[in-house]
Chain A
């Protein structure tokens, strides 16, 4: 961290302001459900690309594995927040969807495009939620949007 000569640029740990989803009717889906599912799907897609491109394009495979790891971290954090907001059995399975039959090793350029599009779409979805959600959730989604932007930048 850069520290000022005379005063530290310290901010205290950000206050946890998003401690309730009480305004949501229990029957409505939590707004984090969609980004959680998307994160799981992206992780599965990126993992598949990481495997199918391991030989043909090791650099792309490495990018895909990095995306898979970050998206899985997003899914884990979002699922944790979903459970915290609504303890009890989740409305949908918490098990990531199976990656499905790996596509028969698409051309690297097509795979790269698919990953970039997924990262950009995830960035857009998370960014759209940043404006309306309570503070803690907004900050979580903001970090997720920023992370997806870094992957999109690397892949494009």
Chain B
């Protein structure tokens, strides 16, 4: 009888894990964590709880994505030392726009994970959940900012 080493169960048999899409999603989560750190310096205290929730959600998503990549045998991309914002963040309004941008970027990255994951893979569910959470947060920040429209018909779509 052949001796086999003990191994952890593979991530649902690792059916063609879309490493590139996951790395992009991890990159978007790194960027979102960075962005919320900046946003927090400019928005009123009344929003701090929602900011904390968003930050915590992105940190958890970042950590889970790193684990998926490691399980797939890939080295997770590290955060960038800095990020360029689409516009200077100088007040609450521009900070909220940055939060919306971060969520929009995350939604796009996770939609791509859904698209590139094989059917019946756990990753489909993970991607859908992350896409949905980002879309809902983006809509709530738009409502806070008084931006219109509040919703988009296809969150994450290119």
A residues at B contact (CB < 8 Å) = 1-7, 9-11, 13-15, 17, 66, 69-70, 73-74, 77, 123, 127, 130-136, 138-140, 142-147, 149-151, 153-154
Contact = CB atoms under 8 A, between A and B. Distances in A.
Given A9-B28, A143-B131, A147-B135, A2 B101 contact: yes
A120 to B, nearest CB: 12
Contacts, number: 150
The binding surface of chain A is classed by DSSP as helix
Contacts of B86: 1-2
B27 A4 contact: yes
Interface stretch (B2-10, B60-68, B76-84): B76-84
A53 B17 CA distance: 48
B24 interface: yes
A155 to B, nearest CB: 11
Nearest to A131: B124
Interface of B: 20-21, 24, 27-28, 31, 35, 80-86, 98, 101-102, 104-105, 107-109, 111-112, 114-117, 119-120, 124-125, 127-128, 131-132, 134-136, 138-140, 143, 149-158
Contacts of B105: 1-2, 9
B128 A153 contact: no
Contacts of B101: 1-2
Contact of B114 (A4, A142, A151, A154): A142
